[in-house]
Amino acid sequence: MSTIEDRALIETNFNFPGQTRFYRGKVRDVYTIAEKLVMVASDRISSFDHVLPRPIPYKGQVLNQIAAHFLAATAAEVPNWVIAHPDPSVTVGHACVPYRVEMVIRGYCTGHAWRTYRDGQRVLCGVTLPEGMRENDAFPSPIITPATKAEEGHDEDISREEIIAQGIIPEAEYLQLEKYTRKLFAIGTRMAAERGLILVDTKYEFGKKDGKIYLIDEIHTPDSSRYFYQDGYAERQAAGERQQQLSKEFVREWLMANGFQGKEGQQMPMMPDAFVETVSDRYIKLYEILTGNKFEKADANNIQERIKQNILNYLTNM
């Protein structure tokens, strides 16, 4: 009988023809070949800035295909990095020079925005926040709260004025990033509403290649975005109740219930098989709710070989 680890992609260590660079992130393995990136979505899962010791079967495929769904839906409005999907867990795209700022956009006073507001601050990343807001209230219009991308540790808030004054991004290019960010958020909001959801906040990353700006990385996935359920939102808000989220928050809650919040000296708990299977099932459900499509599980008998061969076939025929 196969174990969970047998059915999951923990990591890859391929060496492709023409490969010039390899980078392993928290959850993805990225290969640079000529001027293309081959991004493999593993089944690793991270929380509190730590990679958990056990993988989640099909998680990589779920996130890769959710991102593919939304990138395809927005490509006519905002150019993106994607060239091909040779495997359900792989995306091939243009190797861009990333901007060192994440474009965070928020439609609701939730998460970091709410914590800032609750602590009495009324300016976030140079944006003035209205008085009288409660947690999870909608902003009068979505606000952009950029963050510098940290090599290590946490990202830091930064304002439009600071980005331009410090020369991090030229003004004309930054204004284009803002324009793209609002356009993407509007499309994501509409698509979410069609699925009975509210896109609460999200982040976008951009890069540049040959003088052209591209949307890079994943978009509108549960790992990069927060969603509320539309049904009952107003009633819960009026009653001061917690909103129902569609996200991986349940993993964080399990970790906290087992004494782990990523703080120094805390022992990371080992997820039992039953909980790992539950997380896998919930990721699959997330895919089906967000896209409206039935999830088709890719062959998990020999994931490493499947992915390697699919990438090699793509490289041979491109």
The amino acid occupying position 222 is P
Tell me what pLDDT residue 49 has. 82
Is residue 115, in this structure, part of any structural domain at all? yes
Same domain? For 73 and 138 the reply is no
Same domain? For 19 and 109 the reply is no
Q: Are 255 and 261 in contact (CB under 8 A)?
A: yes
Q: Of 211, 246, 281, which residue constitutes the final position of a domain? A: 246
Is residue 122, in this structure, part of any structural domain at all? yes
**Which positions ≥6 away from 41 have C-beta within 8 Å?**
27, 28, 59, 60, 61, 63, 64, 89, 90, 91
Is residue 267, in this structure, part of any structural domain at all? no
| DSSP SS3 for 221 | coil
Same domain? For 81 and 122 the reply is no
Q: Are 204 and 184 in contact (CB under 8 A)?
A: yes
Is residue 92, in this structure, part of any structural domain at all? yes
CATH number at residue 53: 3.30.200.20
CATH number at residue 116: 3.30.470.20
Which pair of tokens denotes residue 205?
């990353």
Same domain? For 73 and 133 the reply is no
Same domain? For 192 and 242 the reply is yes
Is residue 263, in this structure, part of any structural domain at all? no
Q: In Å, what is the CA distance from 288 to each residue of 104, 225, 244, 280, 281?
A: 25, 16, 17, 13, 11
The pTM score is 0.93
Tell me what pLDDT residue 247 has. 81
Same domain? For 122 and 203 the reply is yes
Q: Of 229, 246, 263, which residue constitutes the final position of a domain? A: 246
Is residue 259, in this structure, part of any structural domain at all? no
Radius of gyration of the chain (CA): 20
Is residue 261, in this structure, part of any structural domain at all? no
Q: Are 90 and 96 in contact (CB under 8 A)?
A: no
Same domain? For 165 and 103 the reply is yes
Q: Are 115 and 230 in contact (CB under 8 A)?
A: no
Same domain? For 174 and 191 the reply is yes
- Distance CA(91)–CA(233), nearest Å, equals 35
Q: Are 161 and 128 in contact (CB under 8 A)?
A: no
Counting every residue written for the chain, the total comes to: 318
Is residue 256, in this structure, part of any structural domain at all? no
Same domain? For 177 and 242 the reply is yes
Q: Of 246, 280, 297, which residue constitutes the final position of a domain? A: 246
The amino acid occupying position 59 is K
Tell me what pLDDT residue 152 has. 55
**Which positions ≥6 away from 153 have C-beta within 8 Å?**
49
Same domain? For 93 and 44 the reply is yes
Low-confidence ranges of the chain (pLDDT < 50): none
Phi, psi of 202 (to 5 degrees): -165, 175
| Domain around 231 | 99-246
Same domain? For 76 and 112 the reply is no
Same domain? For 199 and 306 the reply is no
Report the number of distinct structural domains present in the chain: 2
184-235 pLDDT per residue, tens: 999 999 999 999 999 999 999 999 999 999 999 999 998 899 999 999 999 9
